[in-house]
Amino acid sequence: MAIDFQNVTKTYPDGTVAVDDFSLHVPSHTCTVLLGSSGCGKSTLIRMVNRMVDPSSGSILIDDADVATTEPVALRRRIGYVMQDSGLLPHRRVIDNIATVPRLNGESKADAHRRAHELMDIVGLDSALARRYPKQLSGGQQQRVGVARGLAADPNILLMDEPFGAVDPLVRVELQRELQRIQTDLRKTIIFVTHDIDEALTLGDQIVVLKKGGEVAQIGTPENIVEAPANDFVAQFLGLDSARRSLSAAPREGGGWLVSDGRGRPLGVVNAAPDQRSETD
Amino acid sequence: MNHLVEAFDLLLDAESWSGPGGFGARMLEHLWYTALALIISSAIALPVGLAVGHTGRGRALAVISSGLVRALPTLGLITLAALFVGIGLTAPMIAFVVLAVPSILAGAYAGVESVSPATTDAAKAQGMSGWQVLIKVEIPLGLPLIIGGLRNATLQVVATATLAAYVGAGGLGRQLFLGLRTQDYPLMLAASLAVILLAIILDACFEFSQRLLRRLLGLV
């Protein structure tokens, strides 16, 4: 399930241009991260895929079929959607929240609940939580429920709109790791929106750095972007010009290298740089 | 003080509750008027209120018109309606419906509007149609406020339903107006106390159902 944005523009009635002539190819079974600060149109872009927003011009294709020709409700039921603050229904128990889409698709309650229990297992939620209401869970648990709900109908495409933005940094790292593990097994086509550069570098097979108005600053793999930022904007956004990411290595007594950041703060040790391994051997 | 004691004596006397014109029959009549007025006004106000809350359209119109209607004096309205439809239950029923509609309307749209936009947005993004969002999300979550509107309307109508007797219909107003005309103040007081009792019982039922609902919806 590849996704293509073709010359997409979105102008809101008040004249705000959220996205201007944006094109992108999202390959199947990979995770593409849209990275940018607020107001860069990244949420607008992701919401165009499931027609929560319709473009003013241009088109979005899923496996070469224009989404504009698909009825929005049917389209949304076959695309997983995970959002910030989980967006769970507060009056439904965890199990029923996860079973939402299968139930909408007409599955029996027993089947939908069985599937929901499987998903709780996949996203690492204790099945004892099934009968709880969302607000009886921690933020991190709620986001796991959100991910489970997004996966419930076994969609090929998963849209994730800053899903881990509201949880504390430790839990966020844990959730990212879980997502990577899930993605290794399930190989969905994921579009992931974030403003967190570390999150983008962790999760993205492809990263799209966005400026205001959905203007693409750079598209590339995490390695491309860190090694060769296309312009000052990208370098600045990544913090490449700041002390944090300009690392230096000094030879260490007894072999290997000591790595420090731009302020001279020691970060760690490289036992042997990969390209120099032959020399040290 | 004497009147009050006599009024209580009257209410505690089994004799005054029995018979077709007794407190028992009149109270049932009173309840029936209240229920009928609520059913009719809910049939009008709930769909309109839910539509206003769901679409966000016509909100200003709903607020202004319910404000206007609330300002109408009920006794004047009953008299005016009676001039057109004559003596009987129709005229007071029109007035009760006019009295109840604004509260129910306000409860309905406030209930739907109270649901966080993020929740309805998420429901929509999961693939719920507009109707499904209304029925599965907005109504259940707005139910405490929607019932709150019904509760206000019920209290207003149950208190005002005494006026039905003013144009020849029944209800506890019968005893009240009878006492007024014959200067039988204990009877008047007893009728008023019966109305108050009815209002308190109904309000307690609503209180109970709202609490139960909050628990069932997992909102507490």
Tell me the pLDDT band of A275, cut-offs 50, 70 and 90: low
What are the structural domains, with CATH classification, of chain B?
25-169 (1.10.3720.10)
Residues of A in contact with B212 (CB under 8 A): none
Cβ distance B122 to B96 under 8 Å?
A: no
Hey, of B112, B119, B126, B135, which one would you mutate to test binding to chain A, going by the most A CBs within 10 A of its CB? Answer: B126
Buried b / exposed e over B88-111, threshold 16 CB at 10 Å, is ebebbbbbbbbbbbbbbbbbbbbb
Flag whether residue A191 sits within 8 Å of chain B, measured between CB atoms.
no
Q: Which of B129, B104, B131, B64 is nearest to B206 (CA)?
A: B104
Q: Which of A41, A35, A42 is nearest to A233 (CA)?
A: A35
If one counts every other C-beta atom within 10 angstroms of the C-beta of residue A79, the result is 26
Size of interface A-B (CB pairs under 8 A): 58
pLDDT 10s digits, A64-113: 999 999 999 999 999 999 998 888 999 999 999 999 999 999 999 999 99
Q: What is the mean pLDDT of residues A125-145?
A: 93
Q: Is the pLDDT of residue A281 over 60?
A: no
Flag whether residue A89 sits within 8 Å of chain B, measured between CB atoms.
yes
Q: What are the beta bridge partners of residue A268?
A: A259
3-class SS letters over chain B: CHHHHHHHHHHHCHHHHCCCCCHHHHHHHHHHHHHHHHHHHHHHHHHHHHHHHHHCCCHHHHHHHHHHHHCCCHHHHHHHHHHHHCCCCHHHHHHHHHHHHHHHHHHHHHHHHCCCHHHHHHHHHCCCCHHHHHHHHHHHHHHHHHHHHHHHHHHHHHHHHHHHHHHCCCCCHHHHHHHHHCCCHHHHHHHHHHHHHHHHHHHHHHHHHHHHHHHHCCCC
Residues of B in contact with A76 (CB under 8 A): 124-127
Q: What gap in Å lies between CA A259 and CA A273, rounded to an integer?
A: 11
Cβ distance B166 to B173 under 8 Å?
A: yes
If one counts every other C-beta atom within 10 angstroms of the C-beta of residue A274, the result is 7
Q: What gap in Å lies between CA B65 and CA B109, rounded to an integer?
A: 14
Lowest mean pLDDT among A219-223, A277-281, B62-66: A277-281
Q: Is the pLDDT of residue A252 over 90?
A: no
Residues of A in contact with B122 (CB under 8 A): 81, 83, 86-89
Q: Is the pLDDT of residue B49 over 60?
A: yes
Q: What gap in Å lies between CA A62 and CA A3, rounded to an integer?
A: 5
Helix/strand number for chain A, H first, E second: 11, 13
A88: Cβ contacts below 8 Å, ≥ 6 apart? A94, A97, A134, A142, A145, A146, A149, B122
Residues of B in contact with A47 (CB under 8 A): 125
Strand, coil or helix: what is A88? Answer: coil
Lowest mean pLDDT among A189-203, A221-235, B205-219: B205-219
Residues of A in contact with B134 (CB under 8 A): none
Closest approach of chain A CAs to the CA of B215, in angstroms? 10
Cβ within 8 Å, pair B124-A88? no
Cβ within 8 Å, pair A76-B121? no
Q: Which candidate from B121, B132, B217 shows the least CB-CB separation from A91? A: B217
Closest approach of chain B CAs to the CA of A47, in angstroms? 9
Cβ distance A76 to A51 under 8 Å?
A: yes
Closest chain A CA to residue B129: A73
Cβ distance A209 to A234 under 8 Å?
A: yes
Q: What gap in Å lies between CA A205 and CA A219, rounded to an integer?
A: 11
Q: What are the beta bridge partners of residue A9?
A: A57
Closest approach of chain B CAs to the CA of A119, in angstroms? 16
Q: Which helix (H) or strand (E) holds A278?
A: helix A277-280
Closest approach of chain B CAs to the CA of A12, in angstroms? 18
Strand order in the sheet with A57-62: A17-26, A3-11, A57-62, A65-66
Flag whether residue B24 sits within 8 Å of chain A, measured between CB atoms.
no
Q: Is the pLDDT of residue A276 over 60?
A: no
Tell me the pLDDT band of A245, cut-offs 50, 70 and 90: confident
Residues of A in contact with B127 (CB under 8 A): 73-77, 101, 104
Residues of B in contact with A100 (CB under 8 A): 126
Flag whether residue B127 sits within 8 Å of chain A, measured between CB atoms.
yes
Buried b / exposed e over B184-208, threshold 16 CB at 10 Å, is bebbbbbbbbbbeebbeebeeebee
Q: What gap in Å lies between CA A131 and CA A94, rounded to an integer?
A: 6
pTM over 0.80: yes
* Terminal-to-terminal C-alpha distance of chain A: 46
Residues of A in contact with B132 (CB under 8 A): 104
Closest approach of chain A CAs to the CA of B213, in angstroms? 11
Tell me the pLDDT band of B219, cut-offs 50, 70 and 90: low
Predicted confidence at residue B197, as pLDDT, reads: 93
Portion 156-195 of B in contact with A at CB < 8 A: none
CA angle (B107, B110, B114) in 5-degree steps: 135
Closest chain B CA to residue A46: B125
Q: What gap in Å lies between CA A5 and CA A143, rounded to an integer?
A: 28
Residue type, A46: I
Hey, of A44, A81, A89, which one would you mutate to test binding to chain B, going by the most B CBs within 10 A of its CB? Answer: A89
If one counts every other C-beta atom within 10 angstroms of the C-beta of residue B60, the result is 9
Q: Is the pLDDT of residue A188 over 50?
A: yes
Cβ distance A40 to A193 under 8 Å?
A: no
ipTM of the predicted structure? 0.83
Q: What gap in Å lies between CA B2 and CA B5, rounded to an integer?
A: 5
Strand, coil or helix: what is A208? Answer: strand
Cβ within 8 Å, pair B118-A90? no
